[in-house]
Amino acid sequence: MPGERLTAEHRRRIAEGLAAGLTYAEIARRLGRSRSTVSREIARNGGPHGYRAARAQHATSWRARRRRRAPYAAVPDPAVPDTAVLDAAVLDAARDRDAATVREFEERFVAMMTETGMAPMTARVFAALFISESGSLTAVELVQRLQVSPATISHAVRWLEQRELVAREREGRHMRYLVDTEVWYRAWAASTRSMARWADTARQGAQILGTGTPAGDRLHTTSQFFELLGHDMAQAAEHWRQALSTRRRQA
């Protein structure tokens, strides 16, 4: 079985395993496949909470048909009708246009993240992961794609991991980095925890300095601000999770 493509039956068993709360490692063991194979399958098809066997099978079949689409001849051939050559030119132009559009969007995506506070290289790493078809790339693939050193990739990924924007897993001798549909919920939850720490520390400072002093009053106001912000953020995150769960049940 190792090395073979996943079948519709495999995908059904993956969906059942996720519904039963099994870990990726346990699902992989039951299928006789590697954990990385299972995690990539889940990541590229909706993540652990959005994975649907039928939808994953359909998406995989569509990708396979797209890959099998043979390129037309680039030069006129007497045996090839002129309409086929014309179709080839149209398809080639469309592919080039699509690739250019994707690159343009990637640059806009990176620029937006940079302008909102993320370091340029960190933004490039995150964008590369986020818009990749599977939502995952190895460290080697990132180095080749971005033309930077492994140390640069490692530094960027470390920053992203600290904020729970990416996860990592070992794949043979290489490390694979992943993003999924839960990325924003995890990042938001991490920010909420940060707000709670700000509130607690500022509250302690206000008690030490005394709220009747200017410094103590500033710390007390700061504590109230972050406490309210953290509360609202937690409510917003839970609202999103419920809305997403409802949408997935209806899909």
Q: For every one of its 251 residues, what pLDDT tens digit does the chain have, with 9 covering 90 and above? A: 455 688 888 998 998 888 888 888 889 889 988 888 888 888 777 777 778 888 777 777 766 665 555 444 444 444 444 444 445 554 555 555 577 788 888 899 999 999 988 999 999 999 999 888 878 888 889 999 999 999 999 999 999 998 888 988 877 777 889 887 777 888 888 888 889 999 999 999 999 999 899 999 999 999 999 999 999 988 888 888 788 777 767 76
Edge-to-edge strand order for the sheet containing 167-171?
A: 136-138, 174-178, 167-171
Calpha distance 205→173 (Å, rounded): 48
> Do the Cβ atoms of 160 and 126 come closer than 8 Å?
yes
In order of 193, 202, 210, 227, the CA distances from 207 in angstroms are 21, 9, 5, 16
175's CB contacts (< 8 A; 6+ apart) are 138, 139, 168, 169
User: How large is the angle between the packed helices 214-250 and 183-209, nearest 10 degrees?
Assistant: 160
* Per-residue CA distances from 167 to 145, 175, 244 (Å): 19, 10, 21
Q: How far apart are CA 53 and CA 43, in angstroms?
A: 13
Model pLDDT, residue 85: 43
The overall pTM is greater than 0.75: no
- pLDDT of res. 4: 66
pLDDT score at 243:
81
- Given a contact cutoff of 8 angstroms between Cβ atoms, the answer to whether 133 and 44 are in contact is yes
Cα distances from 200 to residues 29, 205, 216, 227, 234, in angstroms, run 44, 9, 14, 8, 16
